[in-house]
């Protein structure tokens, strides 16, 4: 069947052939997804591994298509999976997992045997460069969920009312922290994550005011003035952290309890911090360092509920290489945006 289709398509533009292949692939995957689930539930004894972990360990790029539930990993191997289905296509060949791929909390979870399959595929293609660094992971259980359904886009109720001031820390000649191995500058990471948060919030109907949208210096006083003048519901400053130990990692969310603008504002700041902390939890493999008080200029001087998010430690030898990836930044942004939306809905 494949051969005949190839012959017929041979004289046509390559684009048509590619489209036909995509349609065929999707058909195979969706047909498999519709077949009745195997007995034994969704989580097998071998456990699951998150797509984030896979991309991290095998240096793969992930192209998620949350609408169709199709996820493509590219790099030393090409793997296409479909949420809800045990069928996948690995380097052009159909393979089957013992249990279906799951889509939970914004991440894709693959049955743990996918690790061995990918390792063997890489070894077969003779560009296996990971032998000195054997893959080790603890098979885990995907977080429980009642929603979203496997192949549907995570529900985000449109039209959340509110205005949010996003404050990407540093900028211009103030670089903030600098990655000790990559030389990446905190100001750039802050702005990149903040812009992603802005997109996610705007898509949900929230009005967003940014204290800066380019690589320019903005003083702390000017940031606070902008926040106080915006008629906004809350202020979220976005930073990346630094520590002396390369082993220190994790995110943390700060509010200032020594802000002079009243107990209601403080109460709301604490709630905003906890909402963001809760949504960041589990977005990537790191430590939750909590939501707590710290006396910081921008959270101390703003009249509206305010928090400062330290996304991750740039000095962490494990985390630093990840911080510039779109995959990581999008997950960080999703956690922050989801927390803000929780806060705005819960007012
Ligand atoms: Zn900073």
Q: Of the given ranges (26-30, 40-44, 341-345), which has the lowest mean pLDDT?
A: 40-44
- Which range has highest mean pLDDT (11-15, 56-60, 131-135)? 56-60
Residue 261 CB partners (closer than 8 Å, separation 6+): 302, 303
Distance 175 CA to ligand 1 centre (A): 8
Distance 187 CA to ligand 1 centre (A): 7
Q: What is the pLDDT of residue 8?
A: 45
- Can you name the residues that pair with 307 across neighbouring β-strands? 236
**DSSP string covering 247-285, please?**
T---EEEEE-TT-SS-HHHHHHHHHHHHHHHHHHTTSSS
More confident residue, 156 or 304: 304
Q: Are 101 and 117 in contact (CB under 8 A)?
A: no
- Rounded average pLDDT over 25-29: 53
Distance 67 CA to ligand 1 centre (A): 35
Distance 200 CA to ligand 1 centre (A): 22
pLDDT digits (tens, 9 = 90+) for 159-204: 788 999 999 999 999 999 999 999 999 999 999 999 999 999 999 9
More confident residue, 271 or 22: 271
Distance 173 CA to ligand 1 centre (A): 13
Complex confidence, ipTM = 0.99
Mean pLDDT of all residues belonging to the chain? 81
Distance CA 298, CA 219 (A): 10
Distance 178 CA to ligand 1 centre (A): 10
Distance 170 CA to ligand 1 centre (A): 6
Q: What is the pLDDT of residue 41?
A: 34
Dihedral of CA atoms 248, 253, 259, 262 in degrees, nearest 10, equals: -150
pLDDT digits (tens, 9 = 90+) for 67-103: 566 788 888 888 888 878 888 888 888 888 988 888 7
Distance 259 CA to ligand 1 centre (A): 20
Find, among 294, 284, 282, 221, the residue nearest to 253 by Cα.
294
Region 163-345: CATH code: 3.40.630.40
Distance 239 CA to ligand 1 centre (A): 4
Distance 174 CA to ligand 1 centre (A): 9
More confident residue, 236 or 128: 236
Distance 68 CA to ligand 1 centre (A): 38
- Rounded average pLDDT over 25-32: 50
Q: Of the given ranges (104-113, 124-133, 253-262), which has the lowest mean pLDDT?
A: 124-133
Confidence of residue 42 (pLDDT cuts 50, 70, 90): very low
- Rounded average pLDDT over 298-313: 95
pLDDT digits (tens, 9 = 90+) for 202-214: 999 999 999 999 9
Residue 140 CB partners (closer than 8 Å, separation 6+): 47, 48, 49, 50
Angle, vertex CA 74, rays to CA 121 and CA 196, nearest 5: 150
Q: What is the pLDDT of residue 313?
A: 97
Q: Decide if domain 12-29+45-143 falls under CATH 3.30.457.10.
A: yes
Q: What is the pLDDT of residue 283?
A: 93
Domain ranges in the chain are 12-29+45-143, 163-345
Q: What is the pLDDT of residue 227?
A: 94
Distance 290 CA to ligand 1 centre (A): 17
Structure tokens at 123: 């070894």
Distance CA 246, CA 182 (A): 13
- Are both 12-29+45-143 and 163-345 of the same fold? no
Q: What is the pLDDT of residue 148?
A: 43
Rounded percentage of the chain residues whose pLDDT exceeds 70: 74
Q: Which strands make up the sheet holding 207-210, listed edge to edge? A: 207-210, 163-168, 234-241, 306-313, 251-255, 288-293
């Amino acid at each position: 069947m494949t051969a005949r289709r190839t012959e017929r398509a041979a004289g046509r533009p390559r684009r048509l052939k590619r489209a036909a292949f995509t349609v065929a692939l999707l058909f195979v995957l969706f047909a498999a997804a519709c077949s009745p689930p195997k007995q034994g539930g969704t989580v097998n004894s071998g456990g699951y591994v998150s797509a984030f972990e896979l991309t991290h360990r095998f240096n793969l790029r992930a192209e998620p298509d949350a609408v169709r539930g199709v996820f493509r990993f590219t790099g030393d191997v090409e793997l296409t999976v479909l949420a809800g289905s045990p069928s996948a296509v690995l380097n052009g060949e159909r393979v089957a997992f013992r249990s279906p791929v799951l889509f939970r909390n914004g991440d894709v979870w693959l049955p743990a045997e996918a690790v061995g399959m990918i390792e063997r595929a890489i070894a077969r293609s003779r560009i296996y460069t990971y032998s000195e660094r054997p893959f080790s992971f603890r098979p885990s259980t995907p977080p429980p969920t009642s929603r979203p359904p496997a192949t549907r886009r995570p529900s985000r109720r449109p039209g959340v009312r509110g205005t949010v001031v996003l404050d990407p820390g540093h900028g211009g000649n103030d670089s903030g922290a600098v990655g000790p191995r990559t030389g990446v500058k905190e100001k750039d990471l802050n702005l990149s994550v903040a812009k992603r948060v802005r997109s996610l919030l705007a898509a949900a109907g929230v009005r967003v005011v940014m204290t800066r949208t380019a690589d320019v210096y903005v003083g702390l006083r000017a940031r606070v003035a902008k926040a106080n003048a915006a008629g906004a519901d809350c202020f979220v400053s976005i930073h990346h952290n630094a520590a002396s130990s390369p082993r220190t990692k994790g995110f943390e969310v700060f509010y200032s309890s020594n802000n002079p603008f009243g107990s209601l504002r403080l109460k709301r700041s604490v709630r905003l911090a906890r909402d963001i902390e809760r949504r960041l939890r589990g977005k990537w493999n790191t430590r939750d360092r909590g939501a707590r008080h710290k006396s910081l200029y921008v959270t101390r001087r703003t009249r509206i509920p305010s928090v400062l998010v330290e996304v991750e430690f740039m000095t962490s030898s494990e985390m630093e290489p990840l911080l510039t990836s779109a995959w990581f930044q999008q997950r960080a942004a999703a956690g922050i945006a989801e927390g803000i939306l929780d806060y705005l809905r819960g007012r």
